[in-house]
Amino acid sequence: MDEAAGRTATHCPYCALQCGQWVSPSGEVDARAVYVTKDDPTRGGGMCQKGWTSSALLTHAHRLTFPQVRDSRTGGFRETDWAGALGTVAARLAALRAEHGPDAVAVLGAGGLTNEKAYLLGKFARVALGTSQIDYNGRFCMSSAAAAGNRAFGVDRGLPFPVTDLADAELVVLAGANVAETMPPLMAHLSAAQLVVVDPRRTPTAERAIASGGLHLAPRPGTDAALALGMLHAAVVDGHLDRSYLDERTTGFDDVWRIASQWWPERAERVCGVAASDMRTVVRRLAATRRRYVLTARGAEQHAHGVDTVTAWINLALALGLPGRPGSGFGTITGQGNGQGGREHGQKADQLPGYRHITDPAAREHVASVWGVDPSSLPGPGRSAVELLDSLGRPGGPRALLVFGSNVLVSAPDARAVADRLAALDLLVVADVLPGETAARADVLLPVAQWAEEDGTTTNLEGRVLRRRRALAPPPGVRTDLEVISGLAAALDAPGAFPADPRAVFDELRRASSGGPADYTGISYARLDAGEVLHWPCPSGGHPGTPRLFAERFAHPDGRARLVPVEHAGPDEDVDTDFPLWVTTGRVLVHYQSGAQTRRVAALAAAVPEVFVEVHPETAARYGLADGDLADVTSRRGTTTARVRCVPSLRPDTVFLPFHFGGAGAANNVTNPALDPVSRMPEFKVAAVRLEPARAGAR
């Protein structure tokens, strides 16, 4: 805390940049200065509109401030006290477990939870509840890149180098990333670089690429893998391979080339729509540039074959010798605030703390020893998020769901099917700050503290662990998530300890992560509070952390990266006469994720108050629509009603929906729940739709 100014240093609650900020005793973000430490990712104090307005939620009129229970007579909520709320939940959970077994209870976490919350939630599910049915909304965000990174490099860290390294880049390829809107402060790191942006839309990031002398490649939605394969073919045939790097630091190139050899750029052009000459130009520039990076994001990942798509980009980066080389690299831009840490500490269906796999006997033994339980008592892997949601209330599926920090009725694909599954539950418990769409369906609603009202840690997109500090007390009657989890564990008479103090939880997390890929052993509150910059792995108290992975070896036992052969597969469904257009989804500058927070900030809601659909003017005219009209966007699953925005730069075969809105305007009314076979990520980024004037009274 800056005692002289009476303000506290903490971090923005939104994206994975985790920009530092000061919070005053009144709860306002101090506009006079932004919290900046050595190598802070804000790079000099920039913050986007969301960060500057984040304090508006601390005193919002709709803030949840007392526990509520559904009244069976009226169907509405009635206020209760914490003892009553936790007692009700514990009793119903115990009864369901006794009748149907431990997997009758499921838990869904979030990539926005602190490391401490993610850790204790995973422990709670497996020890207090004994259930295997736990996953988190990060399955919608980073799971394909994580799987691709693990199999190529042996470890998953979004950026295996500090974000500040990008400031020296000469050329950056952004595959499926619109950082000018999703992470505006990151653009400061890219100001000196020439950009190549791969995106079906001409986004603000694509505009920046064109202005920098770079390129905007606009592939047909769902064809990024074909584009990457065509570029790899060009790298080989045009003589741009880094053969010494491939021989010394990788394995598997021959198997990859057997597929890529069939993807000459002209063939790839026929599939993806990007000119073969542009593919060759990008490869030539990458090969001729000394400081160059390839970065992927959700546009490459959120597909039914997203792991293979990211792998195709990794193969290209490896063929050109980028990963692990000073001034160059491959990385993935993590989305959610703690998207990196949130997938490291056990709230994912197949993981234990430290990024260990739950089926590994040594991992089970180590973590069980920290938790004080028998390794055999720990359940095995559970269902992934979409599969978990689809199983709710079905025979053999969970009968109760506990949700922490996720608004699945807006964020999950095929939203209407999700609503049906939630309605089939015997018990839905939601811990949240504001009454979002999912919270409105709860049987028990638990009010919890926000980012500026609690201590903890998050891990940003570069694997750097950051201190989130309490600047003010939460409203009377509000508890932290840790207190809620601890209270439920006590009510269930769970074995072991479930501390509510974040320092105690973090110290236990450090022990549980020891020796794992994401080793936090040497990271402590004391070191972070002293201003040390610490990236995992950090295996001991004297260790400086690891800001740059792969400088000497990759994380596989032989130290080599793996090139993995992949083929282009295309979208799970195709267009036809009934559904002749592609829809793709994404974010806009002023809103974040499901919009549960930003739609309640007046300045942000005024900027984009309702859902819209971007359409090429000729496409709009073909379907009897004009700019400003209401249109129905209909897929094989449902309909989204949105305001038409005519955008001449958009592909005529594609429309775009932002995914921040609920109800009739939810983009996920139309998205496809088809899952990647490895990551189990759903295909948010492409679905077949039709466009028509909205039905009367549709909104």
Query: So what's the pLDDT on residue 32?
Result: 46
Among the listed residues 314, 384, 327, the one whose alpha carbon sits nearest the alpha carbon of residue 156: 314
Q: What is the pLDDT of residue 31?
A: 47
Output the pLDDT for position 73: 87
Q: Identify the helix (H) or strand (E) that includes residue 287.
A: helix 276-288
Phi, psi of 499 (to 5 degrees): -65, 150
CATH code, residues 1-139+402-500: 3.40.50.740
Q: Is 374 helix (H, G, I), strand (E, B) or coil?
A: coil
pLDDT tens by residue, 10-45: 999 999 989 888 888 877 776 444 544 445 555 555
Residue 33: per-residue pLDDT = 46
633 strand-pairing partners: 640, 691
pLDDT digits 0-9 by tens, 71-130: 888 989 999 999 999 999 999 999 999 999 999 999 999 999 999 999 999 999 999 999
Segment 120-172, tens digit of pLDDT: 999 999 999 999 999 999 899 889 999 999 999 999 999 999 999 999 999 99
What's the confidence (pLDDT) of residue 2?
59
> Rounded to an integer, what distance in angstroms lies between the CA atom of residue 49 and that of residue 185?
10
Task: Give kind and range of the element (H or E) at residue 391.
Answer: helix 385-391
Residue 47, pLDDT score: 80
Domain 143-332 bears CATH identifier 3.10.110.10: no
The domain locations on the chain are 1-139+402-500, 143-332, 581-693
pLDDT digit string, tens, across residues 320-370: 999 999 999 999 998 888 999 999 999 999 999 999 999 999 999 999 999
Same fold, 1-139+402-500 and 143-332: no
Give the three-class secondary structure for 482: helix
Q: How confident is the prediction for the chain on average, in pLDDT?
A: 94
CB 348 within 8 A of CB 185: no
Pairing of strands 134-136, 105-109: parallel
Task: Indicate whether 608 pLDDT > 70.
Answer: yes
CA distance 510 to 405: 23
Give the integer Cα–Cα distance in Å for 575 and 591.
Answer: 30
**Could you tell me the two tokens for 440?**
């409105």
224 pLDDT above the threshold of 60? yes
Distance from C-alpha of 489 to C-alpha of 68, rounded to nearest angstrom: 19
What's residue 692's pLDDT? 97
pLDDT, mean of residues 293-304: 95
Q: Within a 10 A sphere around the Cβ of 558, how many other Cβ atoms?
A: 10
Kindly state the tokens that stand for 15: 């994206």
pLDDT, one tens digit per residue, over 440-483 is: 999 999 999 999 999 999 999 999 999 999 999 999 999 999 99
- Taking the model in full, what pTM does it have? 0.95
Q: How much of the chain, in percent, has pLDDT values that exceed 70?
A: 97
Single-letter residue type at 645: R
Residue keyed to tokens 């969301």: 50
Task: Report in angstroms the alpha-carbon separations of 606 from 54, 601, 639.
Answer: 15, 8, 25
SS3 449: coil
662-674: pLDDT as tens digits: 999 999 999 999 9
Q: What pLDDT does 438 receive?
A: 95
- Determine what percent of the chain is predicted with pLDDT higher than 90: 87
For residue 8 the two structure tokens come to: 């506290």
Whole-Å CA distances, 35 to 30, 300, 432, 532: 9, 33, 27, 14
Residue 41: its pLDDT value, please? 57
CA 167 and chain centroid, separation:
24
pLDDT in tens, 237-250: 999 999 999 999 99
230 or 695: whose pLDDT is higher?
Answer: 230
Residue 541 main-chain phi, psi, to 5 deg:
-65, -25
Query: Which CATH class, in words, describes the domain spanning 581-693?
Result: mainly beta
Rounded distance between C-alpha atoms, residue 288 and residue 281, angstroms? 11
Say how far apart CA 263 and CA 548 lie, in whole Å: 33
